[in-house]
Amino acid sequence: AQSVSQHNHHVILSEAASLELGCNYSYGGTVNLFWYVQYPGQHLQLLLKYFSGDPLVKGIKGFEAEFIKSKFSFNLRKPSVQWSDTAEYFCAVNGRDSGTYKYIFGTGTRLKVLA
Amino acid sequence: GAGVSQSPSNKVTEKGKDVELRCDPISGHTALYWYRQSLGQGLEFLIYFQGNSAPDKSGLPSDRFSAERTGGSVSTLTIQRTQQEDSAVYLCASSERLAGQETQYFGPGTRLLVL
């Protein structure tokens, strides 16, 4: 069955610390990969996406993610977090499934950055 | 506006009542998705519309849930005989499919509370 796993449910970091959020997926065939962010009181926003090409993708606000096909992973990274990065982060996979496109989301990782 | 809009933003209802949630997608987007986000859970796929194709209803949790999309634009999610476990944030997203690549854009959600 298709699935997306985010192993870290809650992460607490101090400002300037480095961040890596794990995302592993189980999905046959061609996949598109996404990270969405939900800031407190706001709606889900696209952080970055991978369709094809360079497996290292860069998104907004200094975030990047690397697609490692052999590991079925798409981990999110940021070298130095800020207090404003406090949010919930969702990894998602999209691919053709029974003739329709369907997105599978992970359960999310709540990041709290301490000032 | 340019984004996905949803109404109402909040809805409180009594158990057993019917509710209708509305989604206005981004103009020109052919695909529309409904999700449910419960506390501590990821996004649960409910239903997907793509152009004039039959919708993918595989995520609807029970026959009390239904959705329609009129004129390929506005969508309404209806929950009949609401139950307390239906309390959640209902999210709508729209996207434009381009050569197998698409990105979902989310609305702010409707927070439903069933008393």
Task: List the single residue in B40, B50, B104 with the smallest CB-CB distance to A103.
Answer: B104
Asked whether the beta carbons of B104 and B4 are under 8 A apart, the reply is: no
Cβ–Cβ gap A43/B109 under 8 Å: yes
- The token duo for A106 is 């992970």
Residue of chain B whose Cα is closest to the Cα of A44:
B106
Q: Which two tokens stand for residue A107?
A: 């359960």
Question: Using the beta-carbon criterion (under 8 Å), do A101 and B107 form an inter-chain contact?
Answer: no
d(CA A49, CA B62) in angstroms, rounded, equals: 32
Q: Which residue of B has its CA nearest to A48?
A: B103
Distance CA A109, CA A5 (A): 10
Q: CA B37 to CA B74: how far, in whole Å?
A: 21
A vs B: CB pairs below 8 A? 52
% of chain A residues with pLDDT over 70: 94
A3-114 sits in which CATH class?
mainly beta
- Over 70: is that where the pLDDT of A98 sits? no
d(CA A109, CA B23): 27
Q: Residue ranges of the domains in chain A?
A: 3-114
Dist. CA B6–CA B74, nearest whole Å: 10
Q: Among A29-43, A68-82, A87-101, B79-93, where is mean pLDDT lowest?
A: A87-101
Verify whether the Cβ–Cβ distance A103 to B45 is below 8 Å: yes
Give residue B51's pLDDT. Answer: 83
Of the candidates B33, B43, B48, the beta carbon closest to that of A90 is on B43
Q: Examine the pLDDT at B26 and tell me if it is beyond 80.
A: yes
pLDDT digits (tens, 9 = 90+) for B31-75: 999 999 987 677 899 999 988 888 889 899 999 999 999 887 999
Higher pLDDT, A53 or B101: A53
Q: What is the mean pLDDT of residues B6-35?
A: 95
Tell me which amino acid residue B73 is: S
| Three-class secondary structure of residue B59 per DSSP | coil
Instruction: Work out the average pLDDT over A48-59.
Output: 92
For A35-45, what is the mean pLDDT?
A: 92
β-pairing, A19-21 vs A56-58, is unpaired
CA distance B105 to B26: 8
pLDDT band at A54 (very low <50, low <70, confident <90, very high): very high
| Domains of chain B from N-terminus onward | 5-9+16-97 (2.60.40.10)
